[in-house]
Amino acid sequence: MRMLKTEKQLLHSIKVQTDKGNRDNISRTKAYEQFFKMHPEIQWSFLAGMVSRNAGWNMCDLEGIWLSHLLSPKYRHHFFLTYEDANWRIFQDAYPQLLLYHYSTKYERPLFHLCHYFFITKFMTNEWYSFWKYGNRERLVTALIINEQNIIEKPVIKKQSFVFHSILFLLQDWMHFSTVLFPTCNGRLYGSSVSHFRNIDKRIELGKRLAGLLFSEDLFPLFHEFSCRTEPTGARYDYEKYRKKPRYHETPMLRGVYPLIHHKVGETEQWDLKKKIKKDWFIEPQWEEDPQLTDWYDHKQKQLHTVAMIKNWFL
C-alpha cells in the first residue's frame, strides 16, 4: 500500500517532536503533561508525567547531600544511566503513539496503521484501535502500563544486572525507598511503593495502583493543581517547598548536574511476539496500604539521613 505524501510529512513531524521531547527528564515531563492538557481523555499521559517527575527526583538524589555520601561516583553514574535509559526508551515508544492519536483526532480518522513505522507493538496498535472505537480510558491506561514495563524489561531490567542485583539496590528495595510520590500544594504526599522491583508483574501492579490513585475523584484535582503550578526541575524542592516546614535545597536541579545523554536509536524489539499477554495484567489492582505517605516519607528521609551520617562518622 502506497504511503500518501501527507503521511510521510506526518511521520517526519512525529519523529522531530519525539526527538525534541526526549532530550532529558525535564523535557519528557513537560511533553507528557502538555499532551494531557490537550487530550485529558488520555489519562496515561498525566500518569507518565507525574512518574517522570519522580524519575527526575531520583536522579537528582544521586547528587544530593545524602546519597553522595552513601554511593561511590561509579554507582551513582550507573544508577543515573539506568533511570535515564528506562525513561528514554518508554518515551521513544509511547510519545509517537500519543501523537498518532492527536493527529487522528485532528484529521478525524484513525492513523494507527502508521504505528509500525515507529516499531510500536501490534498489542498497542490493536489497543489504540479499540480505544478509538469504544473509548475505554481505563483499559488504555492499563495497556500502556503493560507495554511500557515490557519495553524496558529486557534492555534495562534484565541487562543492567550491575544495578538491579547490587546489595544497595536490594536494600533500597527492601526498605521501600522505591516509591512513587504524588505531591499536592497543601504539602501532603500520596503514592505507592513496589518491592521486588525486578518482577514485571509487581511493576505493572504498581502502575495500575498509581493510575487509580492519580485519577481518584477526591485527589485528582489536587495532583493536577500541583502539576500546573510547579515547573519541574528534578530537585525534590519542587514539592518540599509546599511542606509546613520546607527543607532547604538538599538536591540539585537536574540540568545543573547532568549533561544531555545521546542515546542510540534502534529498532525496538516486539516483545508481544514472544510473550503471552497475561489476563491478570488487566485485572483491577488491590490496595493493601494507605496512599497517604506524608509521615512515611518523613520517616524514610530520617532513615536515609541517619545511615548517611553513620557512614560518614565511621569514615
What's the pLDDT score for residue 248?
Answer: 74
Cβ neighbours, 10 Å, residue 272? 17
Cβ neighbours, 10 Å, residue 143? 22
Query: Closest Cα partner for 145 from 7, 63, 44?
Result: 44
As a whole number of angstroms, the distance between CA 187 and CA 247 comes to: 12
Number of domains in the chain: 1
As a whole number of angstroms, the distance between CA 207 and CA 192 comes to: 9
Number of residues written out for the chain: 315
What's the pLDDT score for residue 68?
Answer: 87
- Cβ contacts of 307 within 8 Å, gap of 6 or more: 70
What's the pLDDT score for residue 281?
Answer: 97
What's the pLDDT score for residue 166?
Answer: 56
Give pLDDT tens digits for 76-105.
898 899 999 999 999 999 999 999 999 999
Give pLDDT tens digits for 257-285.
999 999 987 767 799 998 999 999 999 99
As a whole number of angstroms, the distance between CA 313 and CA 204 comes to: 40
Strand partners, 190: 182, 292
As a whole number of angstroms, the distance between CA 47 and CA 143 comes to: 13
What's the pLDDT score for residue 175?
Answer: 46
As a whole number of angstroms, the distance between CA 23 and CA 44 comes to: 20
Label residue 178 exposed, middle or buried (CB < 10 Å: 0-12, 13-18, 19+): middle
Q: 24 is in which domain, residue-wise?
A: 5-314
What's the pLDDT score for residue 164?
Answer: 53
Average pLDDT per 10 consecutive residues for the chain, totaling 315 residues? 75 97 98 98 98 96 88 88 95 98 96 96 98 98 97 86 53 60 97 85 95 97 98 96 85 96 81 94 87 91 80 64
∠ CA 260-262-267, rounded to 5°: 145
Residue in the block written with cell 524514610: 300
What's the pLDDT score for residue 305?
Answer: 78
